[in-house]
Amino acid sequence: MLKSMTGYGKKTLKDNFLGEIELEIKSSNHRYLEIVFDIPESFTYLEEFFRKEIKRKVKRGRLNLSLKVETFLLPDISLNKALLKKYYFIFQELRDSFPLKEELNLDTLLNLPGIIDIKNKYSFKKNSLIKRIFKDSLKIFLESRKKAGKFIYEDLNKRIKFLKENIKTIQKIKPKLLKEKLDLIEEEEEKINFLKNTDITEELNLLKFYIRNFESKLRLASSIGKELDFILQEMQREINTMGAKVFHPNLANQVLKMKVELEKMREEVQNVE
């Protein structure tokens, strides 16, 4: 069953000791898989874990993962005095070598990389909770994509059935309309040219082939959005050619209906993974 590229999953966990964790995953259409993270700086090391798990389940779409953590725990904060001294001596050397006017202040020193070290005694437990709600959110997210995909699948099947009925109608009414037209033409050569210029047998056969191919792809569980779009492009090409060849308003009406239906299908397929 095909899957939609749009989806949503959210999970919140409240722990009386560790605080509140909220993880949200949502996605929209995209040619490829793009993952965007909105994660507190102290938890960015989990991005690789999230990315790897998502890539195992998702093939296409622009996916946004948001993590919010409100903790009740007070972290252990330590000052790296040895590194602070090194920074200070480097600054003094720079002042001796160059005519620097800036003064070194405490705020500047404390914001240098590695000076302040923040550790959370219970980070291992918080990591476990975050990974757990991530997997729960991802499961909800994937289910929402499947649910939306089922709706698209049913709608595309309905539209394919409509196209097949249109083809049958064209094949049914064309012989009579063709005979009526030929009866009005007196010259034999003109009849031959007319038959040649209005023959849509090849287009109808190719259209039926593409429809069968489209139906078989719909039943696959893999990422098929790009393939479906390509098939619909080929179908559109054949329908456009038919539109240029039809010689009667009744036939032109059937072709126009197919064009409209195909355009709706192409819009929907843009949302298929």
Residue at 1 is within a domain:
no
Predicted pLDDT at 120: 54
Which two tokens mark 194? 């007319």
What local confidence, expressed as pLDDT, does residue 75 receive?
57
- Which has the closest alpha carbon to 247: 168, 187, 176, 145? 176
Do 9 and 142 meet the contact criterion of CB atoms below 8 Å apart? yes
Q: What is the rounded distance in angstroms from the CA atom of residue 263 to the CA atom of residue 235? A: 11
Q: Average of pLDDT values for 233-239?
A: 96
Domain count, the chain: 3
Q: Check residue 64 and give its pLDDT.
A: 98
- Does the pLDDT at position 207 exceed 90? yes
User: Are 188 and 220 part of one and the same domain?
Assistant: yes
- Do the Cβ atoms of 191 and 239 come closer than 8 Å? no
Same domain, 93 and 138: no
Read off the pLDDT of each residue in 81-102 and give the average, rounded to a whole number.
77
146 pLDDT above the threshold of 80: yes
User: Do residues 12 and 141 both lie within one domain?
Assistant: yes
Say which residue, 220 or 10, is predicted with more confidence.
10
Amino acid at 10: K
CATH of the domain at 131: 3.30.230
- Please state, rounded to an integer, the average pLDDT across all residues of the chain: 89
- Of 36-45, 108-117, 125-134, 175-184, the poorest mean pLDDT is in 108-117
CB 114 within 8 A of CB 38: no
pLDDT at 43 (0 to 100): 85
Shared domain check, 186 and 95: no
> What pLDDT is stored for residue 80 in this prediction?
79
The token pair at 180 is 């009526």
pLDDT in tens, 36-66: 999 988 788 899 999 999 999 999 999 999 9
**What mean pLDDT is predicted for residues 87-108?**
74
How far is Cα 235 from Cα 210, in angstroms, rounded to an integer?
6
Is 122 a residue whose pLDDT tops 60?
A: no
Average pLDDT estimate for 242-261? 94
In a domain, 112, yes or no: yes
> What does 3-34 look like in DSSP terms, one character per residue?
-BS-EEEEEEEEETTTEEEEEEEEEE--SSEE
201 lies in which domain range? 148-269
Same domain for 139 and 179: no
- Note whether residue 2 is domain-resident: no
Contact 26, 8 (CB under 8 A): yes
Q: At what angle do helices 249-269 and 123-183 cross, to 10 degrees?
A: 170
* Res. 76 pLDDT band, cuts 50 70 90: low
Looking at the fold, whether 106 and 126 belong to one and the same domain comes out as no
Same domain? For 39 and 137 the reply is: yes
In the predicted model, what is the mean pLDDT of residues 133-141?
96
Confidence band of 119 (pLDDT split at 50, 70, 90)? low
What is the pLDDT, as a whole number, of residue 158? 96
Distance of CA 215 to CAs 97, 160, 161, 202, 264, Å?
Answer: 75, 8, 10, 20, 16
In angstroms, the first-to-last Cα distance of the chain is 11
Task: Locate 109 and state its tokens.
Answer: 């020193």
The H or E element containing residue 70 is strand 61-70
Nearest to 260 by CA among 162, 151, 150: 162
197: tokens are: 């210029």
Over residues 21-35, the mean pLDDT reads 95
Residue at 161: amino acid letter: K
Q: How far is CA 249 from the centre of its chain?
A: 40
Task: Detail the DSSP E strand segments found in 122-266.
Answer: none
pLDDT of residue 125: 64
